[in-house]
Amino acid sequence: MSKEDGFARLDALAQAELVRKKEVQPIELVEAAIDRIERLNPQLNAVVTPMYDLAREAALGALPDGPFTGVPFLLKDLMAAYGSVRLTSGSRMLKDYVPPEDNEIVRRFKRAGLIVLGKTNTPEFGFVPLTEPLLFGPAHNPWNLDRTTAGSSGGSAAAVAAGLTPMAHGNDGGGSIRMPSSCCGVFGFKATRTRTPLGPDIFMDPGGLAIEGVITRSVRDSAAVLDAIAGPDIGDSGAAPPQTRPYLQEVGVRPGRLRIAAITSAGADLTVHPDCIQAVQETAALCADLGHEVEEAAPGIDLFPAETTMLYWGYPAWEIDRWAKIAGVTPSQENLEPHTWMVYQFSKELKAVDFLLAETAAQQLARSIGRFLTRYDLLLSPTLAAPPMPIGAFALPQDNLEMGKWMCFTPLANLTGQPAMSVPLFWNQENLPVGVQFVGRFGDEATLFRLAAQLEEARPWADRRPVVSA
């Protein structure tokens, strides 16, 4: 194995350590990552906007002294504005939009020393959990190219799983970090509401659903990135409860004996695939072997509050009209996908009272899950209700409900603001990854990182490589 190929087996902190010790130069890491993208991306369609010249310029220049100085990185082509580089949000409506400056999350990634090599594939405006936009075509799962990466951070998850870069940006408004992490066999962490900034364009999306973050192979990378990007921006209206110490210091700390509630169903009318049930059962047994107390216990609330979720997803009109105003374009059936146009028209008909009723219902869910998590430290469930589906399995908009049932476990943490993670502990008979989800107490990312590191040590996943891999 060449030195350049060996880089692909290192996590981001390990690559940064090589730079810090002057054993490699940032440009070496960048060129090796570019080579991997050029070789593998034609099969994956994970990277849709290369930024190689900008990356080389940054690698040869004066980089900030951060925890990831010199490490190659990818930005999801949604919400992450990088000045002078197009930001399409996966939509033909924005195919020519170029933001004038970086937004805050990109500034923080840069201050951490990361070098951006490109933008990754995403569904139109991130509205569906499938990375199959008409603008760029589908992203392909590196474990099986005929299967979905899920979404909306599907391009990022595929890139990390295949080893294009050690980690990549993602954001999560209904499971968009956790679902593709489950499908691609990588680690996906959603922080507590308002832990990371969304500015300067907005201080919070309607309902506070979305959170910025990353997809990684190692737990410690995810913790270290959150240390680098956490904290309110100027003008933000609120902030998550303060952490007691850096999250990276939580990795390796034994979590103690945790009380974990396990569920394998989100409701009587929702079918969960046997592989997903088995993944939870095996994870529960592993947690018990590690000394934790695990029992079947449901919160006693509707884990898939379809009416509340759909009312919240009435915000496409806000999102589309906001971007139309910024980019100086007009939304139409010609520049929006049929499903997006449908939900755009639907959301135009909603009234303020509809949103306020949905907000009230979400607050009631937050109080209910909060009370439940006074008795338990964590809630364990499948991440998705079935393994990675074939690309094109859902014909939108006809299969909206079935698609919603597939992603029934993840939106709750967005509606209530809880931190949550998808952990890659199980592969089925088809060698497809099936993630499990842990939801924690509001503001308590520390317990999740402690347990994740313990699980990673007990059942390592970083050396499991997909069919398409560096």
Helix (H) or strand (E) holding 411: helix 411-416
Phi, psi of 170 (to 5 degrees): -150, 165
Pairing of strands 293-296, 259-262: parallel
Please identify which of the residues 91, 156, 176, 265 carries the catalytic annotation.
176
Side-chain-side CA neighbours of 382 within 13 Å: the count stands at 27
Amino acid at 62: A
Beta bridge partners of 259: 293
Tokens encoding 428: 């089925």
Which string of b and e fits 264-276 if b means at least 16 CB within 10 Å? bbbeeebebbebb
Cα distance between residue 348 and residue 191, in whole Å: 30
Residues ≥6 apart with Cβ < 8 Å to 462: 11, 217, 218, 456
Tell me the chain's radius of gyration from C-alpha atoms: 20
Cα distance between residue 334 and residue 348, in whole Å: 18
Cα distance between residue 361 and residue 339, in whole Å: 26
222 assigned to active site: no
Please identify which of the residues 89, 152, 182, 222 carries the catalytic annotation.
152
Q: What's the start-to-end Cα distance of the chain, in Å?
A: 11
Tokens encoding 80: 């992450």
176 assigned to active site: yes
348 assigned to active site: no
For 44-96, what is the HEC assignment?
HCCEEEECHHHHHHHHHCCCCCCCCCCCEEEEECCCCCCCCCCCCCCCHHHCC
Catalytic residue numbers? 76, 152, 176
